[in-house]
Amino acid sequence: MKKESAQILWFTQVGKEDIPLVGGKGANLGEMYRNGIPVPNGFCVTAKAYFDFIKKTSLKQKIITELSGLDVQDSKALMKASKNIKTAILGAEMPVDLEEEIKRYYQELCGNDDRKVAVRSSATAEDLPDASFAGQQETYLNIIGHMDVIKHVQMCWASLFEARAIFYRTQNRFNHLKVGIAVPVQLMVQSEVSGIMFTVNPTTNNRGEVSIEAAFGLGQPIVSGEITPDQFIVNKKTLDITYKYITKQTWQFTDDGEVSVSKAYQEKQKLPDRLVKELARLGMKVEAHYGRPQDLEWGYEDGKLYIVQSRPVTTLNVSAKGKGEVTASNEKKSKLLMEGLGASPGAAAGKVRIISSPSQISKVKTGDILVAEMTNPDYVPAMKKASAILTDKGGRTSHAAIVSRELGIPAVVGSNVATKMLKDGELITVDGTTGKVFEGDVVTKSSQPAEEISTLINGEPIKTATKIYMNLAEPELAADMAMRNVDGVGLLRAEFMIAQLGVHPRKFIKDGKEKEFISHMADGL
C-alpha cells in the first residue's frame, strides 16, 4: 500500500517530508524516531483517514452550511457554529474498518497489557505550507484502552472546528474543507526522573557545553520553579561533567499528584553520571541532526532515556560584558554566604528585600536585591526595579530565571536558604554567572561595553516551513524582542499585563471603570 493512501502509519514510516499526511507534529516525531532518537513509539492516524470520515458520513455539507456566511467577529454565532459542527462530528459513526485498524495498531503498540498513551492533534494543509496551526486543536494525555483511543481520535477531529481554529482559518482565508488533521498516538513516559536539556549553556552561551536539569517524577514543577532540580554541565568534546549541583527533593509530581520522596532518596543524585553523559550524547545527536542548538524535554523510565520534545534554541542572552563582575581577587577576600545556580549572568550589589508574597512587592526599591522563595508573574513589577534576583527554589528554566534573562539582570536560583539566612537591608552581592552570593559590595564594573540584549545563534536567518513565534514574558520588552528573527508573539498571557497595572480587574468593575481597564489592556497590546 502506498503511504499516501494509508489510514494509519507507524512513526518509523514517516518523516519531515510527510507533513501533508501527518502534520508537523507527526512528521517531527517520526523524523526523530527514524533517526535513532529514543522517542516513545507510536503511530499516526493520517489526514486521509479524517478526509475519508468527512466524506463517508456526509459531514461535508453540514460544515458548509454552518460556516457559510458566518461572521467570525460575532462571538455568539461563532461559538454556536463551532458547537454544532463538533456535535455532528462526535455524533457520527467512525467507519468500522478504521476502528478495527486503530484497535489493531494500539494493541500492537502496547503488547499484552493496555498502556497509557497521548492522543495529539496535528493539523495540516497540503497547499498551505506556511500555515501555522499550533495550539488550535486538542491534545489528550493518559488515555488507556482501544475504545478510549478511538473516542479521543474522533475528539481530535472535532477540535479542528474549535471556535479559535475557525476564526484563524477565516481570518487567513484558508478553505476549511482543505485543512485536514492527523492524530499521532504515542506511548506516555511515566517518568521516574525527568528534566530539561540545552545543547548550549543558556547562562554563558558556551556552545561547547550541554546543560542538564533533573528531578524525580514528571517535569512540570521544574518549569514552575516549585522544585530545584539537580544541575549538570557536560563538556561536549570529552563528555566530562564539569559542574554538578545536587539538591534535596522532598516531593515529586506524578500521575497521582504530589507524592513524598522517601527519606532515603531525598538527597541522592537524581541521575547517575553515566546517564548524564548518555543524555548529553543524545542531545548532541539531535543538535547535529537539526543543525542548530536544541532545547529538549526528556524522561527516564524503566532504565531507558526518552526525548519527549525538541525545539530549536534561536536566541540566547549575551555574556556578562557591560555588567558588573566579581573578580578572582575580590572573591578571595570576600565572605561567601551561599551558593545556588547561576541563572542570568553578571553581578550586582544591593540591599536585601525579602518578599514572601506579591502583596509585599512595594517593599522593593530601585537597586534592591529581590529575595524570595520563588517568583511568579505577580512579582514582575518588583523584578523590574531590582538590581538582581535571588531565590530559594527553581532551576535555570524557572520563572525567576527566564524573566531575569529577559530583563538582563543577574539572578541566582535554588539557593535553598536565602530567605532564611538573610535579613532585610543587608548589603550583599549576587553573582549570576557563578551562582555565588557574597557579603557586602564586591562588584567591579566591567570595562567592556554592553552588547545588545540577544544574539542570533546561527547568524543568518533560517527559512522554515512555518512561521516562528516567541513567548513574551515581559510586555514592555516587546520593542526589543521585535528586533529578533521571529514572526511575532505566539503567547502573551494576560496576567502579565494585568499585574503591571497594580489594580485587580474586579476593582475596576466595582468602581465603574471598565473602559479604563480596557484602554490599559489595549495600549499594552
Say whether domain 324-445 belongs to CATH 3.40.1800.10: no
Question: Is pTM, for the whole model, over 0.75?
Answer: no
pLDDT at 461: 52
Task: Tell me: pLDDT of 146 over 90.
Answer: yes
Specify the higher pLDDT residue, 379 or 212: 212
Give residue 321's pLDDT band: very low, low, confident or very high (50, 70, 90): very low
Contact 488, 482 (CB under 8 A): no
520 is an active site residue: no
pLDDT at 262: 94
The set of long-range contacts for 418-423, using a CB threshold of 8 Å and a minimum separation of 24, is 418/338, 418/340, 418/371, 418/390, 418/391, 418/392, 419/354, 419/356, 419/371, 419/372, 419/373, 419/392, 420/392, 421/337, 421/338, 422/337, 422/352, 422/354, 422/371, 423/352, 423/354
Task: Tell me: pLDDT of 140 over 70.
Answer: yes
- Range from 61-70, 308-317, 360-369, 387-396 carrying the lowest mean pLDDT: 308-317
Give residue 494's pLDDT band: very low, low, confident or very high (50, 70, 90): low
* Segment holding 315, helix H or strand E: strand 315-317
Judging by beta carbons within 10 Å of its beta carbon (0-12, 13-18, 19+), is residue 339 exposed, middle or buried?
middle
Judging by beta carbons within 10 Å of its beta carbon (0-12, 13-18, 19+), is residue 214 exposed, middle or buried?
buried
- Range from 75-79, 340-344, 448-452 carrying the lowest mean pLDDT: 448-452
Question: 193-313 in CATH: which number?
Answer: 3.30.470.20
pLDDT at 510: 80
Torsions phi, psi for 119 (to 5 deg): -110, 110
What average pLDDT does this structure show over 194-220?
90
Give residue 348's pLDDT band: very low, low, confident or very high (50, 70, 90): very high
Report residue 354 CA to chain centroid gap.
29
pLDDT at 493: 59
**Mean pLDDT of all residues in the chain?**
85
**Cell numbers representing residue 32 in the block:** 526523530
pLDDT at 475: 63
pLDDT at 362: 87
Distance CA 83, CA 218 (A): 34
Catalytic residue among 152, 176, 289, 399: 399
Distance, first Cα to last Cα, the chain:
51
Give residue 458's pLDDT band: very low, low, confident or very high (50, 70, 90): very low
pLDDT at 154: 97
Specify the higher pLDDT residue, 333 or 273: 273
pLDDT at 138: 78
CATH topology match: 193-313 vs 324-445: no
Distance CA 410, CA 349 (A): 10
Give residue 193's pLDDT band: very low, low, confident or very high (50, 70, 90): very high
What average pLDDT does this structure show over 338-365?
92
pLDDT at 454: 43
pLDDT at 318: 46
pLDDT at 501: 64
What average pLDDT does this structure show over 378-402?
89
Where in the chain are the domains? 3-187, 193-313, 324-445, 471-524
What average pLDDT does this structure show over 127-150?
72
- Of 79-93, 297-311, 449-463, which has the strongest mean pLDDT? 79-93
- Of 291-295, 319-323, 360-364, which has the strongest mean pLDDT? 360-364
Task: Tell me: pLDDT of 502 over 70.
Answer: no
Question: 3-187 in CATH: which number?
Answer: 3.30.1490.20
